[in-house]
Amino acid sequence: MPEKLVIAVGGNALIEDPHHVSVHAQYLAARHAAESLGGLAAEGHKLAIVHGNGPQVGFILRRAELARGVLHEVPLDSCVADTQGALGYNLQMALTNEMKARGANRSAATVVTQVLVDPEDEAFANPVKPIGGFMEEAEAKKRSEEEGWKVREDAGRGWRRVVPSPEPSGIVELEVVRALVDSGVITVAAGGGGIPVAPGQDGELEGVEAVIDKDKAASLLAQSLDADKLVISTAVPRVCINFGQPNQKELETVSVAEAQQLIEEGHFAPGSMLPKVQAIVAFVQATGKEGVITDPPHLKAALAGRAGTRFIP
């Protein structure tokens, strides 16, 4: 039976080769992603797609650094908006072409999406999300003093700027996204976790210098749309415990209680699988429905229960 699905696709999935990151190369990656997504659309599933944008925001920030003193700075909310448009364009064109190749009468559209955050979120007092390129310690501390950046050493690879990653609390364009999805349009929304916005003192929305986790935004969107499933597409076919160790074990079906225990035992890396599992668990807890984590080639089989890791109430 056709279902309403929210599918999260990582920003790194849209860069297949770190040595080839041109716009054309990123389109080709989107075209490959569209092959898997198109199979679901051709079966009649209603799709909302949330993409990551970490590498692409890094490119924008790097350009801004190279143009310092010549062009204006680009705030983070605008960086997210830029990537929503550019990556959404790649995805909707790739999906349109995929649907045409399959002989399916389905259209695709991108919604530039604002996501509400609480300006009092504790994340603003403790920024932890690394963005932009690596720096030497002296350069990082100079930027901190001169520009007010928060900086931190990143796993022995160098120093980086860190920014807040607050919890998403609402989707401003929700009803627009709902109307598109329910009408059968393959809808790209909340890209990069959404553009972080919050009400100012006069009640008007204002952009916020922050980055929202893409998987958390996808979970919120899935709950808000009353989706049948939340699917997180990642680099591995199944979630594993003891990852990379001789006793590595793939997980097929996991209950919310079991997932929470595995989280407490530290089986999932904070910058990798942990936010994905947390996002799935939040969706399953809130809705009583299922969530799935798998890689793009196994999307169709995972929805049929033959692949991926299923999270159940």
Which residues are annotated as catalytic? Answer: 11-12, 129, 214, 276
Tell me how crowded residue 297 is: count the other CB atoms within 10 A of its CB.
Answer: 14
Q: Quote the CA–CA distance of 79 and 61 in Å, as a whole number.
A: 8
Q: In 46-83, which positions are buried (b, 16+ CB within 10 angstroms) versus exposed (e)? A: bbbbbbbbbbbbbbbbeebeeeeeeeeebebbebbbbb
On whether the CB atoms of residues 169 and 117 are closer than 8 A, the answer is yes
On whether the CB atoms of residues 172 and 84 are closer than 8 A, the answer is no
Orientation angle between helical segments 214-224 and 274-287, nearest 10 degrees: 10
Q: 103: which DSSP letter?
A: T
Tell me how crowded residue 154 is: count the other CB atoms within 10 A of its CB.
Answer: 16
On whether the CB atoms of residues 143 and 73 are closer than 8 A, the answer is no
Task: Return the structure tokens found at 176.
Answer: 């627009």
Task: Return the structure tokens found at 84.
Answer: 């929503």
Q: Which residues contact 128 (CB under 8 A, 6 or more apart)?
A: 152, 162, 164, 165
